[in-house]
Amino acid sequence: MAELGNPKNTIEILNKYKFIFQKKFGQNFLIDTHVLEKIIRAADITKDDFVLEIGPGIGTLTQYLCENAREVLAVEIDKMLLPILEDTLSAYDNVTVLNQDILKVDILSLINEKNGGRPIKVVANLPYYITTPIIMALFEQHIPLINVTVMVQKEVAERMQAAPGSKDYGALSLAVQYYAKPYIAANVPANCFMPRPNVGSAVIRLTLHKDSPIKVLDEGLLFRMIRASFNQRRKTLVNGLNNSPEINLPKEDIIKGLTALGFSENIRGEALTLEQFASLANYFSSL
């Protein structure tokens, strides 16, 4: 079995199938065995694990997952890759390839069917244009997850991990940290991929909170407030909330809420922690 982490083997298989990279699918295949090993270690894959892989490509990471996990379900949108995957994964009997768009897959029923509803691990070298929608869909559907270990654009990883007051801190930081604890496991230079992307990458592991540290009465209101606070980043929190069509509160009530919780009415959203946003959302939902 040709190990695809080796660039020579990757080129051979692409030539054998006359594969043409599809820009619309954001395809960049990993060609570095050290990075592949780091992903397996970061995700803490064991023989007990059922792993969902999103976007297996030609099966480079999938081979490593099959070696280390109990069972792998790989969801690939590009049907041109199916014959390649059949070839590169032919040595493994613990993998199923599903030719679908991950955003349209009923992941919950697949987990019930294949893993008895028990929590799974997700591993992916994600197309960068669709990273956030995929990660947020996994969280918002409350899929039973242990962790999500993904290759993403370096600056997106930094935003997910950012703390209040930093330039990278924003709605994505808060949304991810509401559900999980982020940890950047590795920075990955562009020359580890074929074709070479124009940006640096990073492997980030998101470990799901067993019990959310945040108690919020209305999750929807919390996220509407977070979006409104960062839509116009330079505005004060009062003006951000007041200008948002998603927040239906008079300005004086917003000011009253901030004052009641001990905040200045000139504070900006970027200064608030997730806990502070939650206490503000709880104040407004109990009005």
Dihedral sign (CA 55, 109, 96, 183): positive
CATH number of 7-208: 3.40.50.150
**Is 219-285 a CATH 1.10.8.100 domain?**
yes
pLDDT at 182 over 90: yes
Q: What confidence score (pLDDT) does residue 234 get?
A: 82
Of 6 and 98, more confident: 98
DSSP alpha helices (H): ranges in 58-145?
60-68, 82-88, 107-115, 131-140
Question: What percent of the chain clears pLDDT 70, i.e. is strictly above it?
Answer: 99
Write out pLDDT tens, residues 120-166: 999 999 888 889 999 999 999 989 999 999 999 999 999 999 999 99
Query: Is pLDDT of 28 > 90?
Result: no
- Residue 204 in 3-state DSSP? strand
Q: What's the CA gap between 10 and 57, in Å, rounded?
A: 11
At which residue do the structure tokens 């801190």 appear?
169
Ranges of each domain in the chain? 7-208, 219-285
- Euclidean distance between CA atoms 181 and 160, whole angstroms: 9
Report the number of secondary-structure helices (H) and strands (E) in the chain. 12, 9
Q: Crossing angle for the helix pair 171-179 and 131-140, nearest 10 degrees?
A: 40
Distance CA 228, CA 44 (A): 37
- Section 55-80 average pLDDT: 96
Its pTM stands at 0.93
Query: What is the structure's pLDDT at 1?
Result: 60
Q: Please check the confidence at residue 237 and state whether its pLDDT lies above 90.
A: yes
Q: What is the mean pLDDT of the chain?
A: 93
**Spatial separation of the C-alpha atoms in residues 148 and 139, rounded to whole Å:** 10
Q: For residue 169, what are the contacts with CB-CB under 8 A and spacing of at least 6?
A: 159, 162, 163, 270
